[in-house]
Amino acid sequence: MATTNDLKNGLVLSLDGVLWTVVKFQHVKPGKGGAFVRTTLKNVLSGKVVDKTFNAGTKVDTATVDKRSMQYLYSDSDGFIFMDLDTYDQITVSTETVGDAQNYLLPEAEVIVGIHEGTPLYVELPASVELEVTHTEPGLQGDRSSGGTKPATVETGASVQVPLFIANGEKIKVDTRDGKYLSRA
């Protein structure tokens, strides 16, 4: 248990049996009336974001989420298999839990897996990854300075918009948060 005075970004709360991560919080002391805390919470499982206001000093349940460094090994029909880099234990994370992260997940990639009471909650990728372009149409001569983009398929099967000068077989850096091209690798 903690009070609203202990809130900080990244803290995981258990409200009505649902896990929420504190994205943003603000202590407010109006001219009259009691102080309160305005928060923005993100559902750990679904990703839904809500605003919630607590009275100052209110007790809230905190949940312990163990963030472990893990290495992605392979995927099968049950989900994605990760290995704990400290204990070498292997766990299976469902496809729903991995979500869009699978578009940027290469074998042997190191990620952070959040686990609560033995259940994997989410997979946190590095900010950017290097992927090889497996297919893209050639850029047209004379289009190089226009700043246009074209679709490219990378080795994980994801589609990324890249500049016209990128060719098949090149390695590119992709932002894992929004799937945008960053630079050549």
The string of pLDDT tens digits covering residues 137-161 is: 887 665 555 567 888 999 988 999 9
Nearest CA-CA partner of 3 in 64, 40, 58, 63: 58
- Give the pLDDT confidence score for residue 131 in this predicted structure: 92
pTM summary value: 0.72
Is the pLDDT at 166 greater than 90, yes or no? no
What burial class does residue 87 get, using C-beta atoms within 10 Å of its C-beta: 0-12 exposed, 13-18 middle, 19+ buried? exposed
The third-level CATH classification (topology) of the domain covering 128-184 is OB fold (Dihydrolipoamide Acetyltransferase, E2P) (2.40.50)
Share of the chain above pLDDT 70, in %: 96
- Give the pLDDT confidence score for residue 143 in this predicted structure: 54
- Give the pLDDT confidence score for residue 67 in this predicted structure: 87
Annotate 160-181 with three-state secondary structure: EEEECCCCCCCEEEEECCCCCE
> In this structure, which CATH number among 1.20.1250.20, 3.40.50.300, 3.10.590.10, 2.40.50.140 belongs to the domain 66-124?
2.40.50.140
Residues of the chain with CATH 2.30.30.30: 2-60
Which tokens is 91 given?
A: 């766990």
CATH number of 2-60: 2.30.30.30
Residues of the chain with CATH 2.40.50.140: 66-124, 128-184
Query: How many CB atoms are closer than 10 A to CB 70?
Result: 24
Q: Per-residue pLDDT tens for 18-62?
A: 888 888 899 988 888 888 999 999 888 777 889 999 888 888 888
Nearest CA-CA partner of 142 in 160, 165, 167: 165
Residue 117: enclosing H or E segment and its boundaries? none
Share of the chain above pLDDT 90, in %: 25
Residue 38: enclosing H or E segment and its boundaries? strand 36-43
